């Protein structure tokens, strides 16, 4: 039986990027979704604006999935290949996935908190809805930085 330790480490990196970014998104969506449901129970006509705030933290999960997909593609797993990569290469891929895993997790959670506060803006000052979206989008910036860092590092790894 062959041991593919490098491959296992690389797959762990992809799993962490997908898992942590997805977890941050789901926590963030849960936070803002609870606040939005409270506003919606009193003012159902504000559903469209609330939906935007609820959906925003979901992007981190998408970014994590993109990095996981890129790792699988880089390794050739999408074509059914099982590459024998070194432990060093596996660790390089794991390290390249960590910016997305970390920023995706934390920015998803905090974007949900900002979105939950934005639900209060929608409830009390509906004309300021875009200000609430901008605040929430500012948190998104760091998930995009994590996505970009992971993407660029993955491109630089030679197999």
Q: Are 13 and 98 in contact (CB under 8 A)?
A: yes
pTM: 0.92
Give all domains of the chain, ordered by start, each with its CATH number: 5-156 (1.20.120.610)
Spell out the per-residue pLDDT of the chain, length 159, in tens: 467 999 999 999 999 999 999 999 999 999 999 999 999 999 999 999 999 999 999 999 999 999 999 999 999 998 888 888 999 999 999 999 999 999 999 999 999 999 999 999 999 999 999 999 999 999 999 999 999 999 999 999 988
């Amino acid at each position: 039986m062959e041991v593919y330790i490098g491959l296992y480490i690389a797959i762990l990196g992809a799993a962490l990027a997908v898992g942590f970014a997805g977890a941050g998104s789901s926590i963030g969506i849960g936070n803002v979704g609870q606040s939005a449901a409270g506003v919606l129970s009193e003012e159902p006509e504000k559903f469209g604006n609330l939906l935007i705030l609820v959906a925003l933290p979901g992007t981190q999960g998408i970014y994590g999935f993109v990095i996981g997909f890129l790792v699988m593609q880089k390794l050739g797993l999408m074509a059914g290949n099982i590459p024998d990569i070194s432990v060093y290469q596996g660790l390089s891929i794991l390290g390249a996935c960590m910016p997305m895993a970390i920023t995706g997790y934390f920015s998803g959670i905090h974007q949900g908190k900002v979105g939950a506060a934005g639900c209060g803006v929608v409830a009390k000052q509906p004309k300021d809805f875009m200000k609430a979206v901008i605040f929430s989008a500012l948190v998104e910036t760091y998930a995009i930085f994590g996505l970009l860092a992971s993407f660029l590092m993955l491109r630089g790894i030679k197999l």
